[in-house]
Amino acid sequence: MIKEIIVVEGRNDVRAVKRAVDAEIIAVGGFGINKEVINRIKEAQKRQGIIVLTDPDFAGEKIRRIISKRVKGIKHAYISQKDGVKNGDIGVENALPETIIDSLKNAKCELKEKHCEFDINDMIFFGLTGEQDSKEKRDILGKELGIGYGNTCQFLFRLNNYGITKEEFKLAVNKVNRRMNKVKQYE
């Protein structure tokens, strides 16, 4: 399991990296890196660290510069154009898993044991799944914790991979419950 959160350009890059390693991944969606994505990257950098792995082309380098300018102290992983080409298309999504692993090793990624502070029972207990307003609650809580919105499985994965503590989580849930006019408060 990679400790740092890996930042890539798009969904196909996410699939390629997930074939290579077990890691939390943020896809920026190309040049349209909005403030919400930058804030999520900043939070990830603060909690776990960031490794940027973009395509070995002009667009990838531009995205890398945008992120580097706004988020300090990040690591960079690179694949060569030769290793990222398939049928004339250049990108991380074309790299072999071994190539991605080597690029992350060269970026001095850190390994960690899988963190399982939270499980599906927590999601049910705190009303983050199975209730009419669970989606809205995950959305607000994701913003409060700086991990973004996710479906139940994604949200659970992020809670564990961003190193959220139970205490921090309960404080945020209580804040969200107050905002949503829910009576339930947790200690």
What is the number of domains present in the chain? Answer: 2
Residue 144 maps to a domain: yes
> Does 43 lie in the same domain as 78?
yes
> Does 77 lie in the same domain as 53?
yes
> Does 75 lie in the same domain as 47?
yes
Q: Final residue of a domain: which of 84, 106, 128? A: 106
Residue 133's pLDDT is 93
| Chain segment 38-55, per-residue pLDDT in tens | 999 999 999 999 999 999
CB atoms under 10 Å from CB of 90, counted, come to: 19
> Does 169 lie in the same domain as 127?
yes
Q: Final residue of a domain: which of 106, 137, 160? A: 106
Instruction: State how beta strands 75-76 and 50-52 pair.
Output: parallel
Global pTM?
0.80
* Cα separation, 45 vs 3, whole angstroms: 11
> Does 102 lie in the same domain as 128?
no
> Does 82 lie in the same domain as 52?
yes
The predicted model gives 12-29 an average pLDDT of 95
Over 90: is that where the pLDDT of 113 sits?
no
> Does 164 lie in the same domain as 99?
no
Residue 187's pLDDT is 67
Residue 116's pLDDT is 85
Structure tokens belonging to residue 29: 């969606």
Instruction: State how beta strands 5-8 and 25-27 pair.
Output: parallel
The residue type of 34 is: N
Is 154 buried (19+), middle (13-18) or exposed (0-12) by CB count in 10 A?
middle
* Cα separation, 64 vs 144, whole angstroms: 26
Element (H, E) at 51: strand 50-52
| Chain segment 144-169, per-residue pLDDT in tens | 999 999 999 999 999 998 889 999 99
Who contacts 85 (Cβ-Cβ below 8 Å, separation ≥6)?
A: 94
Over 80: is that where the pLDDT of 185 sits?
no
Q: Is the dihedral of CA 36, 39, 43, 45 positive or negative?
A: positive
Spatial contact of 92 and 57, defined as CB atoms under 8 Å apart: no
Q: Final residue of a domain: which of 69, 84, 106? A: 106
Q: What is the domain extent for residue 84?
A: 5-106
Tokens 């503590």 sit at which residue? 165
Residue 32's pLDDT is 75
